[in-house]
Structures are given as C-alpha cells and as structure tokens.
Structure 1
Amino acid sequence: MQQSNTTTLSTVTGLMSQIAETGRDTLRGGYTRPVYSHAEIELRQWFIEQAQSRGLSVEQDGNGALWAWWDLPTGDRTDAVVTGSHLDSVPGGGPFDGPLGVASALTALDMLKSRVQERTRALAIVVFPEEEGSRFGVACLGTRMMTGAISLEKALNLRDQDGTTFADVARSNGLDTRLMGPDPTRLAHIGAFVELHVEQGLGLGELDHPVAIGGSILGHGRWRLSVTGQGNHAGTTLMAGRRDPMVAAAQMVVAIRNIAREQPHARATVGRIEPVPGGTNVIASAVNFWLDVRHPDDAITAALIQRIHDTALDLAASEGCELSLNQESLSPTVTFDATLTSRLQGPLTNAPVLDTGAGHDAGVLAAHVPSAMIFVRNPSGISHSPEEYVEDADAEIGAAALADALAGMLN
C-alpha cells in the first residue's frame, strides 16, 4: 500500500490505485479481504490516514466501525449527514465492491470543502465492518449489531472457518465486547445516510447511464443446512451400504436450483459446501452447506424456504441421512426513504431509479434512519468476481454525483 499523498487524492481512481495491491488473491484472482484479516486491517489504516490528512476527526465505535467527522465549529453532531461503505470483500471479489464507496466519499468531501461555505450539519464518512459476511457468515454484521438486528450473544458466538469466535477476533483487535451491541445514541445522531456502491448488475449498462439512485433492496436471507450420515472408508464400504450425506447434499443443490427456477424473480444460491471430515478417501459423516435466497416478496421468500426444507428432508431420508436447517440472517425487502430519494433526484435529475438484489448496510440502516443509495455503472454486470469493473470516468462522475447530493443536505 502506498503512503498518503494529499496532492493526488482528488480523484477516485487516484485513491483506488493506492490500495490496488492490498489483499490481491493470487489463487482465486481478484481480492480476498475478510474482516480483520491483514488486508482489511491495512485498508482500515489507509482510511484513517486519508481521513486525518483531510483534517477529519476519526473514531472507532464499540462495534468496530470507523467514523471520520467533518465537524461543525460548534462540535454539534446531531442530525448528521453520513456517507461511506465497507472495505471487506468476498473471497476472490472485485476491487470496487465496498472500497469504491469509501474512495468516492473521500473524493466527494474534497469537492465539498471547496464548494460549501456554510453548513448547519456535520458530515461523517463511515466504514462498517463485515458487510459481506465472508468470515462469520452474517452479512452487514456491523450495522446489524449497531441497530440490534442481531443479538449481541449470537454475534459474539459466530465462528469463522477456523472455529474462532467473533468475540475472540474482536478482542484481539482491540474491541471491548462489553461495549458492543445496539448503539441507539449513535443512531439518533444520523440524520441521513447515503451509500455509494458499484452496481452489481447490468441495469445501468442497459440504460447507458453512469449513475442511478437506489429504489429498493430485495428481501434476502442465509440458511445453513447440515446433512448427517455415516462416515466410513471409501474403499471398503459397498455402495449399497452407504449413508452418504454428500450424495444427499448434491441432490439438494440441484433441487434448490429447480425450485427457484419455478418462481419468477426468485434467486437461490449454494455457494459454500463443507464436508466433514473432508478427506478424499473418506465417506463424509456430515456435509454443511449455505443457502442464499432472495425475492421481492418476503412471503414468497418464506414459502421458498419451506418448500426447500421439505424437499431436502425427503432427499436426506432417501439416502438414510438426517437434515437440520438453521437461519443465519434474514432481511426483509427494503424500500428506501421516499423523501430522501426525492431529495437526491433534485441534483441528480437524469439518474434513473433502480432496484437491486444485493444487500447493503444502507438496507439495514433504512429501518432506523432515512437512507438512500447511489449506484455507479458496472459495464460487465458482474460482481463478487474479479470481472467486476468500473470505468475511471464513471467513478469520477459517481463521486461528483455524491458530492452534489450531499451538498444540498448540509444546510
């Protein structure tokens, strides 16, 4: 990571180039930056340096979110305007998912400092931890803890793939678990939250427009399915005598695909499978896999999960196995604040309003504070992949759009 240089930080591309090697994944391609990994910690330090170089006051809240404040002379932070995003990534993710929003916020601040002479509201740039949920399995964990959308007990007992609890990781990174959890005081100081993010689809590409305003986020959730059978020797156990959870799990994955295909607008994904014990010459004793389901209608999401559960139970039984299904997170469909969205449409007169199937911290905050989103065109339409892409010109247009939106909110 390059050192801070305030003479080259007026562009999003300049900022993004500084972190271009941080967390690069030579095995998967793209970037792997799980929360509190070496790469993500390095990015957090980069953000602190960038904020401080701009004269911002930086603090870390009890849940590990970083807040960089452009304070009023009075120090009043009530009814503050907040923007920002996250710095963690999925395994082998693209460079823009998260960091684009942070770099754009810093660039927008540079613009605002030269344009806004007087203001009545403080501005904060925030970096939320574990937005992707790639380490501990729950997306938007930082905002869920802050808002109380997840119980502190459940959050602290989440485990990563190595079996390390979130509580232990938090403590090792300087957090006091006694200070974690719901933060109603901080929430009460947020007058509005606007998150800029790369679009994770082809909507803007098809409309041939560089930026859009977020309309809604599809309801979505994550479930863990555990199939248990009988572990045994791959060479001595005849096929007819097996209770193989891998066979049952494979049939479930195909069934999930077929069930989702039958429901218009549904999305169902199995992206992670872990056999136990995981040996090549071992019939697994158990298989755990994680399911992501999304649909605009929350009732249909619930019905899909019920159907998947019923089908999976039958498939497990047919292989002499057992099944358990546990919900890890669930977010209802979110429609962003109409007043705030309308306010963004003033300076962003030509920007279309687009819905998204991707979850965001703004979606969690929307139940508690006026929230909105700005999307920047991704011509590939691909995200959570090294092929995710944003043109330099579009990145700068996005930051300018964010600055325009924030400027009208500071008075």
Structure 2
Amino acid sequence: MSLLDDIADVGVDRRRGGYSRHGFDSAELELRSWFIASAEARGLDVETDRNGVLWAWWGTPGDGAIVTGSHLDSVPGGGAFDGPLGVTAALEAVDLLRARGFQPRKPLAIAVFPEEEGGRFGVACLGSRLMTGALSPDKALALTDPQGITLAEAVRSAGLDPLRFGRDPVALARIGAFVELHVEQGRGLTVPVGVASSILAHGRWRFTFAGEGNHAGATLMGDRRDPMLPAAALVAAARRAASAVPGARATVGRIVPTPGGTNVIASTVDVWLDARADDTPRTRSVVEAVSSAAAEAAREEGCTVSITEESYGDTVVFDATLRDDLASHLGGVPALPTGAGHDAGILAAHVPTAMLFVRNPTGVSHAPEEYATPEDCAAGAVALANVLEHLSR
C-alpha cells in the first residue's frame, strides 16, 4: 500500500472535488505533522528551518548532502499526486534502501517545502524563494490570503517566528544535489519514469480594474462604468496573445469582483493572469499584448487598470551533467520539458538540481482527475531509491 493512502482523507474538498491543502492551513499542518511522525518512525531526525521547510535527515546533517523531497500543499481542488507523491516516494525510497542494507556515505535528507502552489498567499514556491533570497521576507510576510490573514500571522499561528524568515545560506550550503520526484503534468511520458530537461519561463500578474459600483436594475447601460467588461476582454485577449506565440500558454483561472453581489455592478474586479513560454522575451510579449488590450478595454468603459507582477521565474534548464547521469543510471529514460513550476526550478540557480517524473496517463493535473497508477508510483519510488543510492555513495 502506498503512503499516499495514509493521507487520502486530509484536505478533501467536498465542494470543488479533489483536495484543498494550502500553506499553513489546518490541512497542510496536519500533513506536516504526519510527515514528521512518518520520518521519525524511520529513525530520521527532523528539524524545521527558518522558512518553515521541514528537513528529515538520514545521518548527521552537513554540507553537500543529497536531498530529495517536494511539497504537501495543493491548488484549490487539486489532485492527490502533485507534491505529496514526491514526499511519500522519498519516504518509501528510504524504506527500500534500508531493506537493501544500504548506508549512505554522504548526508541524505528529505525536504518538504511550504506553499509551493501559492494557493493561499498567491506566490508560488514561497519556501524555496525565501530560502534562496528570490523573495524578500518583508514582501513575503505582508502577503495576505483571501480572508485577509497575512503570511506573518499564519506562520506565527503555526509556531514559527516570522522575524527569522529570509535567505538561508546555511540551508543552501547543505544541498550538494537536489532531486525532486513529481507526477508528470502532461502526457509526454510514455514509460513509467523520466527526467526533466527544463521548465518554461512563467509568472503571475494581477490586473485590478476599477469602475463605479452601482445598482444592477437602476443604472442604464449607457451610464455604466463596469469593470467586469474590461475584465472579460482580458480573458479573451489572453487566449489571442498566447495563441500568437508558438508554445506559449496564458490562463485566467481566478476573477474576484468587489463587492460580488448578483444585483450589483462591481466597483473593482481583480483578474489573475498566468503566462508561460519558452523564454523570457516570449513570455513578456504575451503579457505586454494582454496588458495593452486590458488598458484599451478599460479606457473604452471609463475604467482604470493597474497591473502587479506577483511572481516571475525565467526559463530553467536543469543541470545537464546531473540530468544525463541520472537518465543513464536509470537505463536511458527519456528527458522532457515541463510547463509547470517547481521548487527544484527555484533551487536550480544555486545548486545542482534534477527532477524525476512519474507517468500520468490522463495528462491532467491541478484537478481531481490527476492520476498515476500504483505500479508507476512504485516504479518512481524504486527509481528515486536507485538515484539516491547512486549519488550518496
């Protein structure tokens, strides 16, 4: 039985389907406690670093360690595999190595990063961005969730000290190589396990349209300054802009009108754009096209628009030497790019980093239909164990 079965009831979303587990909420905190208990049951020493990253050590902690792991949080209504598969496979890999009688010559650790999806505070890979200094602690701690709770308040409630958050050179120095196992988020893999070659450049932008709130029945159509119209225009513009750039993707997955009444013309509408492409110039060209269309639509409706870049990551090309070494060690498995961001992608600018993918027959991710067969999950755990044994000799 997979360790995924142990956590199958945590964070089930009865309204959306799938799971809603967000950074430092009750579901994610329950999963963190589960991980600590599972790691300690295996004789691993667990610690929490200054940014809330969990570390489970096999051997004495030290620099140059071989580190694996992933995250336990999800998008709203996400699948069961994105994140937790990498954590459970890491624990299962330890079991497999112990059964082989293997003893690592280098420190070996499992790391669990908080708020990778950005589902609560809006910035993806929050833990790894803080660790590497890609995100300032002041900006991070001021982030708010939909209920207005700041990250500082959330981590304090979880027993962490927000004043300690920030770049952590000590933690970075401990990572000699990082290998993250993840379910593939597409249908490119036709064998059980593969390796990642690269991650698309990608980011998130918030567009805030401001108009005039008013009565839906008493306000004539010609008298309106309705911010929902330019918001709708942005959605259509995103499809056009991405379609004009080969390989680009643009998505509007969240729209929040204020005040949000059925019989009320909104006063403001916030729209979040997710844009991705092969490189920064292509990604930026998509965002510029969408921004131009949004500004024009706002002017036509007598509204204004402001644009905030909430996060951005350039194209990541994983360490070629490490990638090829792992692919060869696993019998020549294929290497493939991904359009999804990961903590491994943030760490790649600082330490040798690689990713293993487990086949996803549905090709669906960030949704309840996300899937990997038990056999492929088991193959992923074996592949990870083989990689960890190879790297930590």
Do the two structures share a fold, i.e. TM-score over 0.5? yes
Q: With the length of structure 2 as denominator, give the TM-score of the two structures.
A: 0.98
SS at match of 1:67: strand
Aligned partners of 2:79 and 2:369 also within 8 Å: yes
Aligned partners of 2:71 and 2:86 also within 8 Å: yes
SS at match of 2:333: coil
1:35 Cα offset (Å): 1.1
1:116 Cα offset (Å): 5.2
1:359 aligns with 2:347: no
Which residue in 1 is equivalent to 2:176?
191
Q: Distance in 1 between matches of 2:217 and 2:307?
A: 31
Which residue in 1 is equivalent to 2:325?
343
1:308 Cα offset (Å): 1.3
SS at match of 1:290: strand
Which residue in 1 is equivalent to 2:358?
376
Q: Distance in 1 between matches of 2:61 and 2:43?
A: 17
Which residue in 1 is equivalent to 2:205?
223
SS at match of 2:391: coil
Q: Distance in 1 between matches of 2:39 and 2:380?
A: 19
Q: Distance in 2 between matches of 1:375 and 1:21?
A: 25
Q: Distance in 1 between matches of 2:192 and 2:102?
A: 28
SS at match of 1:143: helix
Q: Deviations over 1:266-322 (max 9, x none)?
A: 100000000011111110000001000000121111122112111110010001100
Q: How has the CA–CA distance of structure 1 residues 190 and 116 changed in structure 2, closer, same or farther, with 3 Å as cutoff?
A: farther
Which residues in structure 2 correspond to 1:109-148 (within 5 Å)? 109-115=94-100, 117-148=102-133
The one-letter amino acid of 2:355's match is M
Which residues in structure 2 correspond to 1:211-250 (within 5 Å)? 211-250=193-232
Which residue in 2 is equivalent to 1:66?
54
Which residues in structure 2 correspond to 1:246-265 (within 5 Å)? 246-265=228-247
Which residue in 2 is equivalent to 1:5?
none
Which residue in 2 is equivalent to 1:389?
371
Which residues in structure 2 correspond to 1:182-331 (within 5 Å)? 182-204=167-189, 208-331=190-313
The one-letter amino acid of 1:286's match is T
Q: Distance in 2 between matches of 1:165 and 1:377?
A: 37
| Runs of 4+ deviating beyond 3 Å | 116-119
Q: Distance in 2 between matches of 1:119 and 1:292?
A: 41
Which residue in 2 is equivalent to 1:107?
92
Cα RMSD after superposing both structures: 1.0
1:115 Cα offset (Å): 2.7
1:186 Cα offset (Å): 1.0
The one-letter amino acid of 2:71's match is H
Aligned partners of 2:233 and 2:293 also within 8 Å: no
1:381 Cα offset (Å): 0.2
- Structure 1: gaps (5+ residues): 1-12
The one-letter amino acid of 1:264's match is P
The one-letter amino acid of 1:58's match is V
Aligned partners of 1:82 and 1:194 also within 8 Å: yes
Deviating more after overlay: 31-40 vs 362-371:
31-40
SS at match of 1:408: helix
Aligned partners of 1:82 and 1:192 also within 8 Å: yes
Give the counterpart of 1:49 among 14, 21, 37.
37
Aligned partners of 1:218 and 1:334 also within 8 Å: yes
SS at match of 2:298: helix
Q: How has the CA–CA distance of structure 1 residues 236 and 319 changed in structure 2, closer, same or farther, with 3 Å as cutoff?
A: same
SS at match of 1:380: coil
Q: Distance in 1 between matches of 2:102 and 2:150?
A: 47
1:117 Cα offset (Å): 3.9
The one-letter amino acid of 1:236's match is A
The one-letter amino acid of 1:99's match is P
Which residue in 1 is equivalent to 2:316?
334
Which residue in 1 is equivalent to 2:158?
173
Q: Distance in 2 between matches of 1:302 and 1:182?
A: 27
Q: Distance in 2 between matches of 1:328 and 1:78?
A: 32
Q: With the length of structure 1 as denominator, give the TM-score of the two structures.
A: 0.94
Aligned partners of 1:78 and 1:121 also within 8 Å: no
Q: Distance in 2 between matches of 1:319 and 1:153?
A: 36
